[in-house]
């Protein structure tokens, strides 16, 4: 199915640019063209199709759905909705407060917010096309597990103690009103005509593509550089055995690097192809995507330092554990 992109890249690299097939440069160029063309086409097509399906899903509906859900299913639902609901990361504070003031426990809200950057349609799509469906399933399961367990943990330690006071107030009020049902004023939900769905999907496809195409170029460019210029076997020889310290090191390295999933996945492909163990790669990428300083500075508006620090450590520990577990189990996969 993807052969056409390989052929296109070969034609462009060897015929048009006349690079000889056995050089490093040709290898890198070929990789770059193949991946960029493949990702661009897939992105536009798939974002459109997925947006058609989820046109009527928005954070308001998710909130109404999650409010009053039993905790046990709450974390799972929160994390699942985080994976499929579109929202811009600049909305994470209003979303946090909206959920909180509807009386939804902090842990469930955080399950939603933690899973959201890790899993989205673009990430899944890229993983499928670059690393195959097995790896994709693995990634989705791990991403959701981090969101769900993270949420449960935050509720266990009663994280709401360390919210900023106005947010804590809102949560308290929300709990009271939530107990006398249906007091949350819901926006009217009108069912959508196909024409509106199409319009929404078209806008989504254009908007998301407009936002991520640069990341694809940067990510694939880095991947291509790794592919072509890091000596074959270097990564494998130095980090290939999944030495225990390489996982926390990868996580730490990922923190100052800030990227979204779109930019990182092409790099993952290249790292794995070069022999970096799957667990180490996952740990590095999750840390790059989910633990970022800009996001933490935003969260400071609603959380006290203490909670931020806990959240930060929690992410570091969980990504490291994910890395170790996967490195340990890779031989059996």
Partner 1 sequence: MKDIKVLGSGCAKCEKTITVIDTVARELNVAVTITKETSPESIMSYGVMSTPAVVIDNAVVHTGSIPHRDKIEQWLKNSE
User: Which stretch, 54-62, 130-138, 247-255, 284-292, contacts partner 1 (CB under 8 A)?
Assistant: 54-62
Under 8 Å between Cβ of 128 and 136: yes
Those residues with Cβ within 8 angstroms of residue 198's Cβ, 6 or more apart along the chain or in another chain: 52
Smallest distance, partner 1 to C-beta of residue 89, A: 9
User: Which stretch, 36-44, 98-106, 227-235, 239-247, contacts partner 1 (CB under 8 A)?
Assistant: 98-106
Q: Looking at residues 153 to 192 of the shown chain, list those that interact with partner 1 (rule: CB under 8 A).
A: 166, 170, 185
Per CB under 8 A, 58 contacts partner 1: yes
User: Which stretch, 55-63, 144-152, 248-256, 316-324, contacts partner 1 (CB under 8 A)?
Assistant: 55-63
- Specify the residue, 16 or 88, whose C-beta has the smaller distance to partner 1: 88
Per CB under 8 A, 254 contacts partner 1: no
Per CB under 8 A, 67 contacts partner 1: no
Under 8 Å between Cβ of 333 and 134: yes
- Specify the residue, 243 or 301, whose C-beta has the smaller distance to partner 1: 301
Burial category of 89 from C-beta neighbours within 10 Å (exposed 0-12, middle 13-18, buried 19 and up): middle
Task: Identify the residue among 12, 59, 152, 168 touching partner 1 (CB under 8 A).
Answer: 59
Under 8 Å between Cβ of 58 and 200: no
Smallest distance, partner 1 to C-beta of residue 95, A: 5
Those residues with Cβ within 8 angstroms of residue 102's Cβ, 6 or more apart along the chain or in another chain: 63, 64, 66, 67, 174, 178, 184
Per CB under 8 A, 217 contacts partner 1: no
User: Which stretch, 52-60, 136-144, 269-277, 282-290, contacts partner 1 (CB under 8 A)?
Assistant: 52-60
For residue 311, count other CB atoms closer than 10 A to its CB: 21
| Collapsed DSSP state (helix, strand, coil) of residue 163 | strand
Q: Distance between terminal CA atoms of the chain?
A: 25
Tokens of 33: 């063209």
| Collapsed DSSP state (helix, strand, coil) of residue 54 | coil
Per CB under 8 A, 108 contacts partner 1: no
- Specify the residue, 119 or 171, whose C-beta has the smaller distance to partner 1: 171
CA–CA dist 292, 298 (Å, integer)? 10
Binding site for partner 1 (CB under 8 A): 58-60, 63, 87-88, 90-91, 93-95, 97-99, 101, 166, 170, 185, 298, 301-302
């Amino acid at each position: 199915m993807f052969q056409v992109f390989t052929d296109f890249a070969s034609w462009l690299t060897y015929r048009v640019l006349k690079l000889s097939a056995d050089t490093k440069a040709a290898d890198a160029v070929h990789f770059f063209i193949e991946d960029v063309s493949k990702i661009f086409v897939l992105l536009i097509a798939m974002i459109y199709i997925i947006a058609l399906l989820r046109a009527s899903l928005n954070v308001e509906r998710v909130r109404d759905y999650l409010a009053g859900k039993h905790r046990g299913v709450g974390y799972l639902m929160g994390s699942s909705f985080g994976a499929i609901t579109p929202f811009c990361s600049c909305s994470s504070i209003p979303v946090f407060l909206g959920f909180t003031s509807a009386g939804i426990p902090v842990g469930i809200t955080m399950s939603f917010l933690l899973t959201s950057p890790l899993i989205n349609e673009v990430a899944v799509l890229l993983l499928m096309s670059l690393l195959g469906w097995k790896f994709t399933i693995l990634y989705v399961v791990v991403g959701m597990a981090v969101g769900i367990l993270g949420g449960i943990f935050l509720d266990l330690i009663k994280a709401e103690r360390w919210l900023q006071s106005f947010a804590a107030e809102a949560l308290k009020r929300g709990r009271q009103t939530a107990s006398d049902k249906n007091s949350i004023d819901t926006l009217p939900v009108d069912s959508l005509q196909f024409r509106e769905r199409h319009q929404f999907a078209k806008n989504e496809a254009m908007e998301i593509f407009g936002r991520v195409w640069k990341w694809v170029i940067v990510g694939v460019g880095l991947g291509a550089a790794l592919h072509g210029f890091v000596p074959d076997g270097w990564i494998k020889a130095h980090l290939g055995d999944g030495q225990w310290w390489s996982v926390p090191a990868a996580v730490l390295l990922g923190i100052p690097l800030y990227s979204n999933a779109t930019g990182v996945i092409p790099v993952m492909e290249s790292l794995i192809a070069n022999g970096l163990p799957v667990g180490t790669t996952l740990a590095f990428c999750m840390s790059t995507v989910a633990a970022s300083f800009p996001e933490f500075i935003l969260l400071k508006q609603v959380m006290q330092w203490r909670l931020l620090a806990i959240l930060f450590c929690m992410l570091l520990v969980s990504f490291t554990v994910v890395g170790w577990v996967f490195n340990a189990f890779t031989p059996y996969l």
